[in-house]
Structure 1
Amino acid sequence: MAGVMVERLPLAEQEKLSPAGLQRFQKTPAPLSEYEMKRLQNIQDNAKFFAALNLLETASALKKKTKTHTPSRGLKRTVPKVQEVEGVRRRSMRLQRVDPSGTPLPEAPVQWDPLSGDDNPMKPAGPLDMTPVDEAEILGFLKVWKEASLDGPAEALKQPLSNLKGYKSRLRSMTLGEEQVAKVTKNRIFSVAIHPSESRTLVAAGDKWGQVGLWNLDDRSSDDGVYVFEPHSRPVGCLHFSPAHPAHLLSVSYDGTLRCGDVSKAVFDEVYRDESASFSSFDFLSNDCSTLIVGHWDADIAVVDRRTPGTSHELLGQVNSKTVRTVHMHPVDLNYFLTAGAGDVSIYDLRRMKPRGMRPVASLSGNTKSVGSAYFSPVTGNRVVTICADDRIRVYDTSSLHAESPPILLSLKHNNNTGRWLTRFRPVWDYKQEDCFVVGSMARPRQIEIFHESGELVHAFTNEDYLGSVCSINALHPTRNLLVGGNSSGRLHVFMD
């Protein structure tokens, strides 16, 4: 019976064994069958194979890589302390309808009735001091802004298109690092602007509650070069540095005011004010930027001359649309402007302005839902790009302004469902490559996309470490390889070479 395990003995034989004999049989291993030996060999081979794959190390590395790092530059988020009250059930801030700072949220986060009262009243009429919200020292920053504005207007705006291969190469050279991400405003970004300087990197953002944040990326001081002002009380829908006078930063707000941040005076001058209206966007009407065209949400169009005293308009007309989200001038023939809103995209002649019932020169048809924006190509104006809630980006041929219905060159399927808590996408053309435009994206990993007018995806800006959110609003520098994307938490992401 030697070599036989106890379990293989009959029960009667096991009972006859003495304790010493039973212990001896338990320690005596049974010989393995050929099948069992093959099975053990397979187990050993599999263990060596999986060990060679380094699966645990690879999984750990992937987990670390996919976790987006949130840089701490710029404004610091303050979380209010929650006081526990015995017997009272806790509710989330979303259900209490307050934001993280404790400010009550409005019923309608984007649209606003200027006649309604609330806890965030309009700013007083007249100029406002250029004093940061946190009362930080800004003399050094104002000096930098002045010096940057001495560069003068960029001369490369009329440059011919480069070949697409060279353009792609320049885009690939633009990267995003930790020092190029900062929280610039407290709330959701509605507009972004880039200073045209060749030597300094200065960007601005307007947010949901009237704040305008400016960020000097060349500043490595403890405050990260971020300064926040509050010239408005409602969303800053449009923001531009003046091409003719870069020391001026103009901003238009839903609160019915248009202001100019003048660094030489250190004030936000009031250019245009209408407390019964709500402004959506504006554009420069003249090459010296002294006159402006301003779009109202209720489809009024105002012409404003900054050289005349007062804060009223020179002309006021109403286009044939329910709303105006964006207004944009033709870059060559300044008699024509483009409006987008509701389901309408139309081109109008400024010389035919009427108080009511202005008829468009051309209507850009094909959009079946609300249109978020429409812009002429920046050099020739031969193209118009629109974005619509029907999940389409469309490009029109506007080389002939007298065509009643410009043809559609591109109808690109694109996920534009940003929802209620993200700012709507607004694709804008690249001054350096007029046939390409940049737009936000809902795709994962998070990215900012550049398309050719043919529909080709030219490049997607991604960074798994520092870009983990949707950048709805984007802007491109007119001459440098520099892209700025703003998200709904007030952060700017700057891709540059």
Structure 2
Amino acid sequence: MNKLSEYELEREANIARNRVLLEQLDLKGVGTQMGFPANKVSPPKAKAKPIQPRIKREKPKIEAPPRETRQSARLKKEVVDPNESPSKKRKREEERRRKEEDERLEAEEKARIAKRPRHDDLDIATLADDASSEELASLRSAFQVVTGVPQPKRVAAADAFVFEEDKKENVAVTALRESMRKLKVVARAKVTEDRIYSAAYHPEITKDLIFFGDKHGQLGIWDARAPAAEVADEDGEVASAEDQEGGKYWRLQQHWPATSKSSISSIKFDPLDSHSVFTTSYDCTIRSLSFTSGISQEIYSSEDNALITSIDMPPRGNEMWISDAEGGITHLDMREDRDKARRYELADHKIGSVSVNPTSPHFLLTASNNRTLKIWDCRKLQTLAIGSGRAKGPFNHDSETVQEFVESKKGKGCLRGEFSHGKSVSSAYWDPRGRSVVSTSYDDTLRLWELDATKYESRNEFPSFTPFSRMKHNCQTGKWLTILRAVWTPNPDVYPHFTIGNMDHSLDIYSCKGDLIARLSDRSRITAVQAVTCSHPSIIERAASGNASGRCVLWAPSS
């Protein structure tokens, strides 16, 4: 046996002394350092996130057969004749440079095409190219349910919920308050991949089918009360009912490319039957997705590259009013060729919203960044449709032309009412009766009007157009949140009320008289501003909201 060196003997002695010393001190963790198994200590349980995103199992990748691709002579590494003459060498180099230039131009053209909006018809499989065949089948099944019976847009009478006695009105408000207080968070899901910009609730009463448009042109369709499949996480554990996503959702790339240039600014259902949905985008296009055929069609495209901010349609359908960021509104009759659309520049700043009076569709309500809210009589406005010396096009009238017409004798009564706000007006909408108006402004104020419908038949300006109620409301959303908008519930069977997001992470509900009906919140499950809101057109106790990360919430009674 080989003798240990003096160094090794001293090392062994040091190890022995240290072991004895550590055992005497009874230090914790020594076993791990000396090679013994450590005692397991369970880590503190992490607090559940407000919602867990759906974990999809990746589909097996199928290797596609290799395809022959074009390559330059340099990449092919062709053999060059060492005895090649100078003239042949020049000719070969010129040919190589020409091929490389052709390839570069072809690649640039493909890149440009990929960034352009898609103007052709698209089916569901193309819109949801990442979805499996099972997911597409479930989406088609959901569409079949809502197309069984036509569900036209319903409106209330202009004198609905107008009480002669305050006592009766107080009873109606109390009943509404009791219903809204029952609303709780019953489902949550990350319906879209990016910030929610718009939302609409489908009128089908057997489902809670909600449509959300996001910053990158994605249309999220959420069946919020559908049973969700239990999906295990990476550790094989299934999340609790509170932390799971609720319902089922599908994501369709309705507008292309998937960038902020394709943000979906508004969503509307066909008022005739609700069997199709219209979406407007910052790519200056409007598309219609049919639930029966599953085809998405472009129905309008702005040749002036005027960014589309919103649309609205009268209950009789077939027509559409479009607002844009250049201060114009466009009338589109979908029974005619889109080239016959008529555009009127009504402001020198962006018009953020246009709203059609449901009971008197000739009244249009516009909200602009020039700080004004205005009511227009489109019957007068449309007399400008033919022949105008200053028109930029056959059906496009500039602001100077419109202003001269409004101030002329012939244009008297075209502008029926106007009110200036402290700062830009984010939105303004008619209620289902066509009687009340609510506006949202960056001056942190919600304003309410109630008009006398008996004065609508007059051709003159409204004798008074001043809000009867002003409510302070923080509207300073900044750069990273969608602009807050006060949106009326479209249900004509209930006392008129509207919903609006609150910077304090709640969903606020107000009556048409300015009474706070409810302030819905859940600090343990909602930790972001519910900037975009909508309500069910037929069920009173239903509301939905979405935030800047694409996460959406359904508010309903817990039972």
TM-score calculated relative to the size of structure 1: 0.73
2:349 maps to a residue whose letter is K
Aligned to 2:360: 333
Deviation for aligned residue 1:189: 0.6
Deviation for aligned residue 1:308: 2.7
Distance 1:75 1:151 in 2: 35
1:147-193 C-alpha deviation (Å, 9 max, x unpaired):
1232432687538547111111111222213xx11111111111001
Q: Does 1:447 align with 2:506?
A: yes
Aligned to 2:34: none
Q: Does 1:361 align with 2:410?
A: no
Q: Is the 8 A contact 1:69 1:465 kept in 2?
A: no
Q: Does 1:283 align with 2:315?
A: no
Deviation for aligned residue 1:364: 3.4
Deviation for aligned residue 1:140: 2.4
Q: Is the 8 A contact 1:196 1:243 kept in 2?
A: no
1:417 maps to a residue whose letter is Q
Which of 412, 430, 440 matches 1:387? 440
Q: Is the 8 A contact 1:184 1:205 kept in 2?
A: yes
Which of 317, 332, 336 matches 1:308? 336
2:301 maps to a residue whose letter is R
Q: How does 1:18-417 map to 2 (within 5 A)?
A: 69-74=49-54, 121-131=115-125, 132-137=128-133, 138-153=136-151, 157-158=155-156, 160-161=160-161, 163-177=172-186, 180-222=187-229, 224-233=247-256, 234-275=262-303, 276-285=305-314, 287-309=315-337, 311-342=338-369, 343-353=371-381, 354=384, 355-357=397-399, 358=402, 359=406, 361-379=415-433, 381-399=434-452, 400-401=455-456, 402-403=461-462, 405-417=464-476
Aligned length: 389
Distance 2:359 2:549 in 1: 37
Deviation for aligned residue 1:75: 7.6
1:205-231 C-alpha deviation (Å, 9 max, x unpaired):
001111111111243244952111112
Deviation for aligned residue 1:384: 0.9
Deviation for aligned residue 1:411: 1.1
Distance 1:252 1:363 in 2: 27
Deviation for aligned residue 1:474: 0.4
- Closer, same or farther: CA 75–377 of 1 in aligned 2, 3 Å: farther
Q: Is the 8 A contact 1:374 1:384 kept in 2?
A: yes
Q: Determine which structure has the larger helix proportion and give its number.
A: 2
Aligned to 1:482: 542
Distance 1:242 1:371 in 2: 27
Aligned to 2:555: 495
Distance 1:452 1:347 in 2: 22
Deviation for aligned residue 1:260: 0.5
SS in 2 for 1:186: coil
Q: Is the 8 A contact 1:191 1:207 kept in 2?
A: yes
The share of aligned pairs that are identical, in percent, is 23
Distance 1:289 1:184 in 2: 29
Q: Is the 8 A contact 1:73 1:183 kept in 2?
A: yes
SS in 2 for 1:338: strand
Deviation for aligned residue 1:329: 0.3
SS in 2 for 1:158: coil
1:28-77 C-alpha deviation (Å, 9 max, x unpaired):
xxxxxxxxxxxxxxxxxxxxxxxxxxxxxxxxxxxx99x7742225587x
Deviation for aligned residue 1:250: 0.6
Structure 2 residue ranges without an equivalent (≥5): 1-44, 59-110, 162-170, 232-246, 257-261, 385-396, 407-413
Distance 1:367 1:118 in 2: 42
Q: Is the 8 A contact 1:181 1:466 kept in 2?
A: no
- Closer, same or farther: CA 423–391 of 1 in aligned 2, 3 Å: same
Q: Is the 8 A contact 1:154 1:479 kept in 2?
A: no
- Closer, same or farther: CA 492–313 of 1 in aligned 2, 3 Å: farther
Distance 1:75 1:441 in 2: 30
- Closer, same or farther: CA 383–74 of 1 in aligned 2, 3 Å: farther
Aligned to 1:425: 484
Distance 1:155 1:207 in 2: 24
- Closer, same or farther: CA 129–474 of 1 in aligned 2, 3 Å: same
Q: Is the 8 A contact 1:473 1:487 kept in 2?
A: yes
Distance 1:385 1:239 in 2: 19
- Closer, same or farther: CA 188–226 of 1 in aligned 2, 3 Å: same
Distance 2:347 2:481 in 1: 28
Q: Does 1:461 align with 2:525?
A: no
- Closer, same or farther: CA 119–184 of 1 in aligned 2, 3 Å: farther
Distance 2:55 2:424 in 1: 34
1:356 maps to a residue whose letter is D
- Runs of 4+ residues deviating >6 angstroms: 117-120
Distance 1:273 1:404 in 2: 39
Deviation for aligned residue 1:323: 1.4
SS in 1 for 2:131: coil
Distance 2:114 2:327 in 1: 25
2:184 maps to a residue whose letter is T
Distance 1:168 1:185 in 2: 31
- Closer, same or farther: CA 468–373 of 1 in aligned 2, 3 Å: same
Bigger drift between 146-155 and 120-129 goes to 146-155
TM-score calculated relative to the size of structure 2: 0.65
SS in 2 for 1:170: helix
SS in 2 for 1:139: helix
Aligned to 1:61: none
Which of 498, 513, 516 matches 1:437? 498
